[in-house]
Amino acid sequence: MLSVIALENVVVAAVTVVAIALMAISTIAYRRTRDSHLLFLTIAFSLFATKGLILTATLFLSLIDLPGLVLLSGAFDLGILASFYGFTLRR
């Protein structure tokens, strides 16, 4: 049976891979259309990928204690939400 920590590592890794793929797709879409709103989407997926990489490194290496990890994760979440909000603003 998998431990919760091992399962969490797998989930974080999967989210990171999907975020990197979506970041690549949104970058290609921006290059084709030059729609500035797609930059917000690219930033959001970049933040997701960065958050995943940091969480994976932290889970494997135990670099940050739990309160610091929660604070860091929350800061990334705020940035991601702000980027998604910027993407949804259309004039």
User: Residue 1: pLDDT above 70?
Assistant: no
For residue 43, what are the CA distances in angstroms to 4, 6, 65, 85? 30, 29, 27, 11
Higher confidence at residue 12 or residue 83?
83
Q: Are 19 and 48 in contact (CB under 8 A)?
A: yes
Q: Tell me: the pLDDT tens digits for 23-74? A: 999 999 999 999 888 999 999 999 999 998 888 888 778 777 878 888 988 9
Long-range contacts of 52-55 (CB under 8 A, 24+ apart): 52/12, 52/13, 52/15, 52/16, 52/19, 53/16, 55/12
Count Cβ atoms within 10 A of the Cβ of residue 45 and give its class: 0-12 exposed, 13-18 middle, 19 or more buried. buried
